A and B are shown apart, each in its own frame.
Chain A
């Protein structure tokens, strides 16, 4: 098992992405060492201080300590790894991971004493997996973790889940994340698709050239061990979330690109890693953009320097790595995300002009003629809505016509006589009127049955105008903002405090005074003579 020095040789000359790859390998073997012989593991000393190890030390001590040596991060890794397996074609997965190893040479556990324990485990487990494999061929799509046979090895991991609720929640969060760089690294530990991909690359590196079959066996064993972890770990977490929310996602192998993975997964196992260096094999790693880089596919590529090769690997990973985010999967071949076809179909309908839009995007798009033809009778709507739609109380949402209808269906549509404002609008009205209509909420848009002339007097139109003078007032000149209004009132109050007293008595007194004096003008213009009186009286003096 002279594994460790090899990947460490690769580390210094690798790019960012490649460091991950090599470390994945490193991690993998580190974990393997931990599980098979914790004492010999020089890289990551297992933590013996964990309280959980003592709890479970009675049954399967070796196993449990391994589990504990996985810290919280490792648990998360496991979980995210197994997310990869969810909803995939399990036949392929099992073929990849279990069938081939079982047909390979039996594992040699002759190393040290502790390995003997692991050897027993391994045998038992491989038997398990064989049975499981057969079972799963019939139970396609059913997560294998549910099978009772696999529940057997459940150990502290179950308890761990219970005792670490916070960790679990963290894991779930992480699962929903997209495949970041760290995720890639994590996933590689268990030999999931990405990792295998990277693993396949070692044919180009010296790392693989040194490899021996024994190491492959070891790799297998460790892989299975990891797999056991996952099973017990994942069972309580994912089954709840995924199955309650929606049926497990079935992805075809083409979507997942497993065919490629199969070839490239673990070349070491096939004793023909030399073949991988052929030009034809390298074609698999070629980037798809042929126009610019077609020349690179020439056989001379085998002579490219290490750094160039690494670059190629990186590109290959970028372009061929199937990604998964939540229920969505990325298909690198079609460059599309899949998994939400149902949700998307709704929008496809909307894009068609004969459907009513949830969101009206194009202002200039003619809606009128087609919307009329599409409109269905109330009875049709009821019939259609019974298949699908939300129900709240006695009301049900009519998906097709995007409105709420009564479930019993005995009531007439109260809006049947009300015209559809928007549909006829787009055909006959001016742009400005259309704009004003669009300002209204969607609920105000009602089916149209009337002509344009009657629509002008319809309740929809009048209701719009009755929204207030503000609504029709588009000129900013006549919009007095609250700040200005506040100032107006402030000044008026100030005026009232200062000179309001001059108006309490009103003008009655002065008018009666004028009447008494028989002043020349009945319109209270006596004051206009005051100046004349003053001037004349002063002139006399």
Chain B
């Protein structure tokens, strides 16, 4: 039994400090690799604890939403238009997650958003990319209701601005990505700017999906381990890291957009190490923006 499992198994005396210890364990040791099911269950537990997402009555809530069937037709047709191609080139994902499960999750989410109305946020019932965003959760969690609960927590609690009607957070994230690249790697930033490649052009998928659009999915999960622990704003820095890793190829390429359209497969540890290293370079002002752009729809980045 790994130290993370042991740590999770005992009820924490003080949740706040226990969470800090858990984060550190995730950063220092990571979630040990084992069988898909075991690691999935452990990872789901870690994610839910870190995200402060209780799975209490997750199943009954989910089943109630699913029983309502497909959402109104424009939403449902959008969902059905995307579900079948969700990570369909990833054999392991296709083997573990059915299209029906993705459909159910997304439809249940849209029902939940419709039920909430405009009280809380401006969440969209469905936007393209949600299907990819839910993929690592369905891939990891041992049950659909838990994946759905985590997805809902993630969307509503962690990245609400990413999923509003105008994708405010995503566009702010793109601006922040440009800024961070400029701070971290001015030469690469200049090269991209010379080729008119802004983050709006190449970075939106990675920003919106929290890098889950990049293969392989197992590495995405490790990236998510870290982001559940220390915040999804780190995703911007991880995208910078991925750019930096392939910077030579980009700068030598005649058509760098071809490289950036689909980021090459990555190693999560390397990306995390680089990304965390960039934190020190990011001024406090921009780090605040990174944190806030996830939740503050009124944030304006110049």
Contact = CB atoms under 8 A, between A and B. Distances in A.
Contact of A520 (B19, B57, B70, B288): B288
B8 to A, nearest CB: 5
A494 B70 CA distance: 29
A521 B289 CA distance: 11
Given A503-B56, A509-B15, A470 B67 contact: yes
B11 A478 contact: no
Nearest to A512: B16
A225 to B, nearest CB: 78
A527 B23 contact: yes
A206 B23 CA distance: 109
A432 interface: no
Interface string A508-539: 01100100000011011101111110011001
Interface in A462-515: 469-470, 472-473, 475-478, 480, 485, 487-492, 494-496, 498-505, 507, 509-510, 513
A504 B48 CA distance: 14
Contact of B70 (A478, A487, A488, A536): A478
B104 to A, nearest CB: 6
A492 B276 contact: no
B114 interface: no
Given A499-B49, A505-B15, A527-B23, A494 B41 contact: yes
Contacts of B45: 495, 498-499
Contacts of B70: 475, 477-478
Interface in A76-111: none
B280 A536 contact: yes
A480 B18 contact: no
A480 B10 contact: no
Contact of B291 (A472, A478, A485, A529): A529
Given A477-B104, A532-B287, A495 B55 contact: yes
Interface string A357-387: 0000000000000000000000000000000
B11 A502 contact: yes
Contact of A521 (B15, B62, B292): B292
Nearest to B12: A502
Contacts of B16: 509-510, 513
Contacts of B56: 496, 500, 503
Interface residues of A, number: 45
Query: Which residue of B63, B143, B144, B292 has the most chain A CB atoms within 10 A of its CB atom?
Result: B143
Interface stretch (B85-93, B162-170, B225-233, B251-259): B225-233
A469 B107 CA distance: 15
A49 B288 CA distance: 114
B15 A525 contact: no
A320 B143 CA distance: 70
A473 B231 CA distance: 39
A492 B104 contact: no
Contact of A530 (B18, B107, B230): B230
A527 B19 CA distance: 9
Contacts of B41: 491, 494
A66 to B, nearest CB: 78
Contacts of A480: 63, 66-67, 104
A489 B57 CA distance: 9
Interface string B140-181: 001111100000000000000000000000000000000000
A233 B100 CA distance: 71
A415 to B, nearest CB: 30
B113 interface: no
B14 interface: yes
Contacts of B104: 477-478, 480
Contacts of A472: 69
Contacts of A491: 41, 142-143, 145-146
Contact of A477 (B48, B68, B103, B277): B103
A472 B67 CA distance: 10
Contacts of A478: 66-70, 104, 107
A524 B231 CA distance: 11
Interface string A28-63: 000000000000000000000000000000000000
A495 B27 CA distance: 22
A485 B20 CA distance: 34
B12 A501 contact: yes
Given A492-B58, A513-B16, A498 B69 contact: no
B3 interface: no
Interface in B118-147: 142-146
Contact of A501 (B11, B27, B44): B11
5 contacts: A485-B59, A488-B144, A491-B145, A521-B295, A528-B231
Interface of B: 8-12, 14-16, 18-20, 23, 27, 41, 44-45, 48-49, 52, 54-59, 62-63, 66-70, 100, 103-104, 107, 142-146, 229-231, 233-234, 276-277, 279-280, 282, 287-288, 291-292, 295
Given A529-B291, A531-B230, 5 more contacts: A476-B100, A477-B70, A488-B59, A528-B231, A531-B27
* Among all A-B residue pairs, the 8 with the closest Cβ atoms: A501-B11, A528-B231, A491-B143, A531-B230, A488-B59, A503-B54, A473-B69, A491-B142
